[in-house]
Structures are given as C-alpha cells and as structure tokens.
Amino acid sequence: MRIYFAGSIRGGRDEEANYLKIITYLTNFGQVLTEHVGSGNIKKNESHNSDEHIFERDISWLKSADIMIADVTVPSLGVGYEIGFAETLNIPILCLYNPKNKKSLSAMISGNKKLIYKNYNTVEEAKLLIDKFISSI
C-alpha cells in the first residue's frame, strides 16, 4: 500500500513529534511516500528544492497513493490543497485532528462528508483510528 501522509510544514511545526510517530506507525501498512514530513530538519532539507519541484513531486506522489492520512491539527494551506486534490482522485482520506491545541478546524474539513474526520488526543488513539480506517477500505 502507498500512503500519503499530510501534515503542516510552512504553516507551523507544532505537531512534528506526533507526525513522526504516526508516520513510523504507518510504515507497518506499506510505503509512506512523505516520510520527510516527520523530519525535524524538513525546512533545511527542503530548502534546496524549488516550490515548483515540491509541487510536482507531491502531486506525483498523490497520484500514486492508495490512501491519504492527513493530520489537520495545525492549519495549513498546503494540507488543505492536498486533501482537495486527493478527493478529486477518489483517494480514501482520513483526517486526524487533535483538539488540544484549541485551534478551530476548518468547516471545509469537518463539514465534508466525503472525508473521514476523527479527533484524537494521544498518538495511541490515532493509531486505533488508523487501524479502523485501513481495515474499512
């Protein structure tokens, strides 16, 4: 299975530690195309890539993905764009949101019945939600 994990990069790295734990867990199910999203050095590592390169690479990965897991806790234009694009490709999408940060979730995510949207409070809860999502597809 090819998994596209989406999490905020330029919008803020508040959930970086959770991203890494979730990505590590996802490797049990297949290839995570976007493992770099969990890296503590992502901004430095990506700095040599042009915006056009990043866009084309990520769209290519999305087109090849079987599923998408998106952490939508930290508001991110890029993650929103990726979710919308994945939706047009009919890729099953699980959006995970940790309400502890008290940031409001966009109605474009919570109100979209085509997405599976779930709250989690701990990474262990997120893992259970991922298990349920993957077993349902």
pLDDT reading at 43 higher than 70: no
Whether the CB-CB separation of 1 and 106 falls below 8 Å is answered with no
pLDDT in tens, 82-95: 999 999 999 999 99
Distance CA 19, CA 22 (A): 5
Q: What is the mean pLDDT of the chain?
A: 94
Distance CA 104, CA 24 (A): 27
Domains defined along the chain, listed by start = 2-136 (3.40.50.450)
Least confident segment among 19-28, 47-56, 71-80, 83-92: 47-56
- Identify the DSSP state of 17: H
What pLDDT sits at residue 131? 98
Q: What is the CA radius of gyration of the chain?
A: 14
Token pair belonging to 5: 């994990």
What pLDDT sits at residue 101? 73
Least confident segment among 45-49, 73-77, 129-133: 45-49
What pLDDT sits at residue 42? 77
pLDDT reading at 5 higher than 90: yes
pTM of the model: 0.94
Q: In the sheet where 67-71 sits, what is the strand order?
A: 31-32, 2-6, 67-71, 93-97, 116-119
| Strand ranges, E, within 24-113 | 31-32, 67-71, 93-97
**Percent of the chain scored above 90 by pLDDT?**
81
DSSP three-state, residue 24: helix
Pairing between strand 67-71 and 31-32?
unpaired
DSSP three-state, residue 129: helix
pLDDT in tens, 101-131: 778 899 999 999 999 999 999 999 999 999 9
CB atoms within 10 A of CB 134: 19
Distance CA 53, CA 74 (A): 24
